[in-house]
């Protein structure tokens, strides 16, 4: 068949064809982008809502941690205050070791101390039992006299059985004092 169209017209038709093809491809890709955007909008809204929810949860957790820290610090401060109050109440009291030093200081040379027993009684009373060996009765009596003269001891119990022997006397003396 014979070609009735001129070359110029053929090129013009071919150019229009390509333009239509490009327009069609542009329209198709634009419509695909619009449809994809429409489908992504719910996901975007859902992600935004989850972000807000997570931020709220983080804020709540942070506040609870802060309140827990405040409570633990408050409890620690209260415990420290109680300990300071206890220490303040006993700062004027003599310790057992100081009482023991008083007893050892009063001991004459003829006395060997072998044991100390410490007891806390009701209230502020405390007691100590001292056991040992005295070389002579006079050493033991002078020791007892020195203990009785010490004003820190409210009571000195000296059993008469301690005086049964003249030499190598095993003894025990009970002392009471206020703390």
Domain borders along the chain are: 1-92, 96-178
The dotted CATH code for 96-178 is 3.30.1360.100
What's the pLDDT at 92? 63
* DSSP structure class, residue 144: H
Q: What is the pTM of this model?
A: 0.48
What's the pLDDT at 1? 53
The region of weakest confidence among 1-10, 116-125, 166-175 is: 116-125
Q: What tens digit of pLDDT does each residue of 58-93 get?
A: 999 998 888 888 888 888 899 999 888 877 766 666
For residue 108, the number of C-alpha atoms closer than 13 Å in the C-beta half-sphere is 16
d(CA 90, CA 155): 22
């Amino acid at each position: 068949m014979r070609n009735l169209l001129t070359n110029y017209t053929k090129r013009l038709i071919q150019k229009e064809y390509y333009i239509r093809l490009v327009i069609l491809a542009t329209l198709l890709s634009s419509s695909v982008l619009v449809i994809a955007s429409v489908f992504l909008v719910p996901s975007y809204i859902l992600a935004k809502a989850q972000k807000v929810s997570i931020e709220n949860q983080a804020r709540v957790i942070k506040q609870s941690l802060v309140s827990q820290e405040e409570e633990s610090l408050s409890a620690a401060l209260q415990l420290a205050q109680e300990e300071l109050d206890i220490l303040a109440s006993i700062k004027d009291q003599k310790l057992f070791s100081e009482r023991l030093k008083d007893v050892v200081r009063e001991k004459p040379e003829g006395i060997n101390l072998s044991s100390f027993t410490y007891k806390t009684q009701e209230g502020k009373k405390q007691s100590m039992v001292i056991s040992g060996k005295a070389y002579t009765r006079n050493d033991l009596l002078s020791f007892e006299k020195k203990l009785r003269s010490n004003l820190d001891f409210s009571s000195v119990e000296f059993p008469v059985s301690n005086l049964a022997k003249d030499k190598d006397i095993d003894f025990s003396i009970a002392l009471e004092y206020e703390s």
